[in-house]
Amino acid sequence: MSLIAIEELRKSYGEVEVLKGINLEVEKGEVIAIIGKSGSGKSTLLRCINGLETINGGSITVDGAKLAEDEAHLRALRLKVGMIFQQFNLFPHKTAGQNVMLAQQVVKKTAKPAAEAMARKMMERVGLAEKFDAFPDQLSGGQQQRVAIARALAMEPMALLCDEITSALDPELVGEVLQVVRGLAAEGMTLLMVTHEMAFARDVCSRVVFMHQGRVHEIGRPEEVFANPQTPELQSFLGVNRAA
Amino acid sequence: MTQFTLMDILRNLVFATQWTVILSLVSFIGGGLLGLLLLFMRIGKTRWLPPVVKLYTEVFQGTPLLMQLFLAFFGLGLFGIDVPPWLAAGIALILWTAAFLVEIWRGCVEAIPKGQWEASASLGMTYVEQMRHIILPQALKVAIPPTVGFSVQVVKGTALTSIIGFTELSKAGTVLTNATFQPFTVYGLVALIYFALCFPLSQVARILERKMNVAHRH
């Protein structure tokens, strides 16, 4: 059974239909890159999987449980699926360590010593053990994003959704974040990432999803998708990227 | 006829100032508590409470405080309820203060970036948990300077209660003027005392604003 199963997913903002019937199955341990032009619906797709957007049709099933609107179901879903954002969204009034501890204590009711031990472990994993007591505004963008990854990991999710997590970073900071993601992929974490890092997608991902106008336009193994794009839309999209 | 020296005038005014201070504190604390209650109703997730609070703030912000004082003082009297001036003054000022504070605070809550809601939601927090751990602690920081700043308005607002006969600083000024025929001296002193009350408050608000800006670099 797939870890994440998306069937005929539809999402509209008012009159505009952003997702026009998405079907996608993600197996445990898969690393999936979602690529496409801005406005193609790729971020919206991720946000739907995490319940940040209400859906208008179709269904999303994570680990056998169907997504529903009520708070209890959403909470159960979000414990299985973590999310990392383009803008990091660390809590500025808490230290890096507290950022990683908070949800464990509040949501999972983990006792403080256990939450702190887990937080230190995760900070270590993203290479920031020495920044445990730093506030977010004392960290670089790349460090903040790595804390955000540690924060999501501390909840021990089955899958991570990464929404353009390197797009807000200075070029020299992209590498350190991708390095962490690469490590997660190697450890078998299920990852769905919206990304513009084509080289990374090619190297690390098991499948690439090309979205165009609210649909999954093309999908396949990265070597096929990048070397031999079938549709003119993907050809032009990759062409544009190569030129850039 | 007794002669009033400057010291007599000043002593009487300072004595009356305590009522201005007490009324200000009662209004500010009472209005703050009511405002907090209204804030949760206003930003809560129910369908019908927010419009009710909105109407409340519109009414109290859209009518003069003086009218509110008259209505509290004379209005309740029409129903045979005898309202002493101090009670009418307290009620009207509490309601008035709450109406402004709830809007100030709502602005502070809404100033917290959407990403904070989304990040805390994606970690599995419920609405109440998000409010308690993420949103309110940050909103509180933003809210302190404008809240302290508004307390100046409350202090000055208490002056109007002299008209319904509550003997605070302004009323004492009027009484002393009638007794001494020295309006310039008396009201000059009254103004100075108000300034002495309000100036430190606005200074504190300014200092807090600067401090909070440093602490809130995002």
pLDDT mean over B65-92 = 90
Look at residue A201 and tell me whether its pLDDT is greater than 70: yes
Look at residue B217 and tell me whether its pLDDT is greater than 70: no
CA nearest to A76 within chain B: B124
Look at residue B43 and tell me whether its pLDDT is greater than 60: yes
The shortest CB-CB distance from A103 to any of B116, B124, B216 is to: B124
Check A82 against B125: CB less than 8 A apart.
no
Check B119 against A90: CB less than 8 A apart.
yes
Check A78 against B216: CB less than 8 A apart.
no
Residue B75 pLDDT grade (very low, low, confident, very high; cuts 50, 70, 90): confident
| pLDDT of the residue at B2 | 66
Look at residue A73 and tell me whether its pLDDT is greater than 50: yes
Distances (CA, A) of B134 to A40, B106, B138: 32, 15, 7
Query: How remote is the C-alpha of B79 from its chain's centroid?
Result: 28
| pLDDT of the residue at B1 | 52
Domains of chain B (ranges plus CATH)?
Answer: 6-215 (1.10.3720.10)
Q: Is B127 within 8 Å of chain A by CB? A: yes
| pLDDT of the residue at B44 | 86
Residue A242, min C-alpha distance to chain B (Å): 32
Check B123 against A52: CB less than 8 A apart.
no
Q: Which of A12-16, B116-120, B180-184 has the highest mean pLDDT?
A: B116-120
The predicted complex's ipTM stands at: 0.92
The shortest CB-CB distance from A107 to any of B113, B118, B123 is to: B123
The shortest CB-CB distance from A82 to any of B120, B122, B129 is to: B122
Contacts of A100 in chain B (CB under 8 A): none
Contacts of B129 in chain A (CB under 8 A): 106-107
Q: How far apart are CA A125 and CA A136, in angstroms?
A: 18
Look at residue B58 and tell me whether its pLDDT is greater than 90: yes
- Give the 3-state secondary structure of residue B4: coil
- The helix (H) or strand (E) run that includes residue A35 is strand A31-36
Percent of chain B whose predicted confidence (pLDDT) is above 70: 96
Look at residue B62 and tell me whether its pLDDT is greater than 60: yes
pLDDT digits (tens, 9 = 90+) for A101-133: 999 999 999 999 999 999 999 999 999 999 999
Domains of chain A (ranges plus CATH)?
Answer: 4-89+158-243 (3.40.50.300)
| pLDDT of the residue at B195 | 96
| pLDDT of the residue at A68 | 83
Residue B122 · residue A82 · CB < 8 Å: yes
The shortest CB-CB distance from A92 to any of B121, B125, B138 is to: B138
What is the DSSP track for A143-164? HHHHHHHHHHHTT--SEEEEES
Q: Is B158 within 8 Å of chain A by CB? A: no
Q: Is B217 within 8 Å of chain A by CB? A: yes
Check B121 against A79: CB less than 8 A apart.
no
Q: Is B140 within 8 Å of chain A by CB? A: no
| pLDDT of the residue at A20 | 93
Residue type at A39?
Answer: G
Burial class, B67, CB count within 10 angstroms (exposed 0-12 / middle 13-18 / buried 19+):
exposed
Which pTM was predicted? 0.85
| pLDDT of the residue at B86 | 92
How many residues comprise chain A? 244
Contacts of A71 in chain B (CB under 8 A): 126-127
Contacts of A75 in chain B (CB under 8 A): 124, 126
| pLDDT of the residue at A242 | 55
The shortest CB-CB distance from A137 to any of B113, B123, B217 is to: B217
Residues of B154-185 as b/e, b for ≥16 C-beta within 10 angstroms?
A: bbbbbbbbbbbebbbbbbbbbebbeebeeeeb
Check B120 against A91: CB less than 8 A apart.
yes
Residue B6 pLDDT grade (very low, low, confident, very high; cuts 50, 70, 90): confident
The shortest CB-CB distance from B126 to any of A50, A71, A87 is to: A71
| pLDDT of the residue at B218 | 45
Residue B78 pLDDT grade (very low, low, confident, very high; cuts 50, 70, 90): confident
| pLDDT of the residue at B198 | 95
Check A90 against B126: CB less than 8 A apart.
no
Which candidate, B135, B116, B118, places its Cα nearest to that of A43? B118
Average pLDDT score over chain B: 91
Residue A240 pLDDT grade (very low, low, confident, very high; cuts 50, 70, 90): low
pLDDT mean over B94-108 = 96
Q: How far apart are CA B31 and CA B33, in angstroms?
A: 6
| pLDDT of the residue at A244 | 45
Lookup result for tokens 């336009």: A217
Percent of chain A whose predicted confidence (pLDDT) is above 70: 98
Lookup result for tokens 């496409």: A36
